[in-house]
Amino acid sequence: MKALGLKKNLAITAVLVALYFAIAYAIKINLINPFQQVNLIWMGINIILAVSLNVIVGFTGQLALGHAGFMAIGAYVSTVLTMNMGLPFFFAIVLGALAACFVGLLIGLPTLRLRGDYLAIATLGFGEIIRGLLVNIDYVGGAAGINGIPKLTNWPWLFAFTVASVLLIKNFIDSTHGRACIAIRENEIAADVMGINTTRYKVMAFSVGAFFAGIAGGLYAHYFYLIRPATFTFMRSFDALVMVVFGGLGSITGSVIAAAAVTILNATLQSLGAIRMVIYAALLVVVMIFRPQGLLGTKEFTLRTLLGKKEGVGKDAYRKQAD
């Protein structure tokens, strides 16, 4: 067991290091052109968004549609910190994420008593409230937003934040705290009776998701020059949800793959012009009708599954959300 674990970690580290340098080199020699670089950045942001939303929706089983709101908080706070306070990029991103986490905590406490569809609509409402409040704050430019944000997000930072986010979330899910979250998804009453403070863990999942959505927001703001309240509509939350569902509810690797695939799909379909969104939406409906558990199914892709060994937590974790 232990030897395999060590080998696995070494293998993953090797793959990640190779990936990092390969892409860094490809950027340097212009093999990845500026348009593709934009998509590379999007890929990292989408991976963080999808994996963090999966903590709430996929692992804890709570349907949340306000992820864009947390992304907005991360984006605005980190931007104010770098532009107005002159804080270093790293600290600005982390503080922005903490702010999103804090708001997630505030929102989570009252709303997470709600169930199912009501929670979905309440979180959607919160996302819109956050956006509406931003419109009214002159300090951050109101509806016009903030522009001229320094372009601090680059490949090394993006890579570091993405890998760290996915790893930290994986560690959380594979711990006693993550098991508590999954138990809530599996059977809330049984989880409660087995001693899990279900409200506490729902709020925790919500805050963890919000924290990493905040990171994604910070990375976004510091690459795309401009942030406006209209950037963070509920359609953005929905994008993340689509990736989570495509990748499988409760599969971290699934979310990573789906986020990357959707980003590439977005970029590929972009050449088709405006009809891209029509195809995208139609595809979504068709996938849901014929494969409601998500395109990639529900498994966790690991070296162990590749080696044909049995898999633990997370495998086949999709279940009906109906109560």
Partner 1 sequence: MGFAPSSCFIYFSGSHRGESMELFFAQFLNGISLGSIYALIALGYTMVYGIIQLINFAHGEILMVGAFVGFFAITIFGFNLFFAMLLAMLASVILGVLIERVAYKPLRGSGRLAVLITAIGMSLLLQNGGLQILGTSYQAFPQVIPKKAFHFLGDKITITSYQLLILAVTIVMMLFLNYIVNKTKTGKAMRAVSHDRDAALMMGINVDNIISVTFAIGSAFAAVAGVLLGLYYQTVHPLMGLMPGLKAFVAAVLGGIGIIPGAMAGGFLLGIIEALVSGYWSTTYRDVVVFAILIIILIVKPSGLFGKDTGEKV
Partner 2 sequence: MLIVNRLTKTFGGLTAVSNVDLEIKEGELIGLIGPNGAGKTTVFNLLTGVYLPSSGEMAFEGKSLARLKPYQITARGVSRTFQNIRLFSTMTVLDNVKVAYHWHDRYSVANAFLRLPGYFRGEKKTTRAAMELLEVFGLAQKAEELAKNLPYGEQRHLEIARALAANPRLLLLDEPAAGMNPQETQELMDLIAQIRQQFNLTILLIEHDMSLVMKICERIYVLDYGKVIAEGVPAEIKQNPRVIEAYLGREA
Q: Give the interface with partner 1 as residue ranges (CB under 8 A).
A: 57, 63, 110-111, 113-114, 116-118, 120-122, 124-126, 128-129, 132-133, 135-136, 142-143, 189, 230-231, 233, 235-236, 238-239, 241-242, 245, 249, 274-275, 277-278, 280-282, 284-285, 288-289, 292-293, 319-322
Partner from partner 2, partner 1, none contacting 310, C-beta within 5 to 8 A by type:
partner 2
Helices (H), the chain: 2-28, 34-54, 67-83, 89-111, 116-135, 155-173, 176-186, 188-193, 198-224, 234-247, 252-270, 275-290, 303-306
Cβ closer to partner 1: 20 or 280?
280
73 neighbors 103 (Cβ within 8 angstroms)? yes
Identified binder of partner 2 from the candidate list 186, 261, 267, 287, rule CB under 8 A: 186
194 binds partner 2 (CB under 8 A): yes
**Shortest distance, position 176 Cβ to partner 1, whole Å:** 26
Cβ closer to partner 1: 87 or 283?
283
Per the listing, tokens 């306000």 go with 66
Residues in binding contact with partner 2, number by CB under 8 A: 33
**Shortest distance, position 153 Cβ to partner 1, whole Å:** 20
Partner from partner 1, partner 2, none contacting 133, C-beta within 5 to 8 A by type:
partner 1
Q: 199-203 long-range contacts, Cβ below 8 Å, gap at least 24?
A: 199/112, 199/113, 201/60, 201/177, 202/60, 202/62, 202/108, 202/112, 203/105, 203/108, 203/109, 203/112
Exposed/middle/buried for residue 83 (C-beta within 10 Å: 0-12, 13-18, 19+): middle
Identified binder of partner 2 from the candidate list 10, 190, 277, 286, rule CB under 8 A: 190
**Shortest distance, position 101 Cβ to partner 1, whole Å:** 19
304 binds partner 2 (CB under 8 A): no
Angle (CA) 302 182 304, round 5°: 15
The number of C-alpha atoms within 13 Å of 286 and in the hemisphere containing its C-beta is 6
Name which of 19, 79, 14 is nearest 220 in CA terms: 79
Cβ closer to partner 2: 53 or 65?
53
Binders of partner 2 in range 195-214 (CB under 8 A): 195-198, 204
Is 226 in a helix, a strand, or coil? strand
275 binds partner 2 (CB under 8 A): no
Cβ closer to partner 2: 159 or 192?
192
**Shortest distance, position 315 Cβ to partner 2, whole Å:** 7
What's the sign of the alpha-carbon dihedral 232, 233, 239, 242?
positive
Name which of 164, 149, 174 is nearest 211 in CA terms: 164
Residues that bind partner 2 (CB under 8 A): 168, 171-172, 175-180, 182-183, 186-187, 189-198, 204, 250, 310, 312-313, 315-319
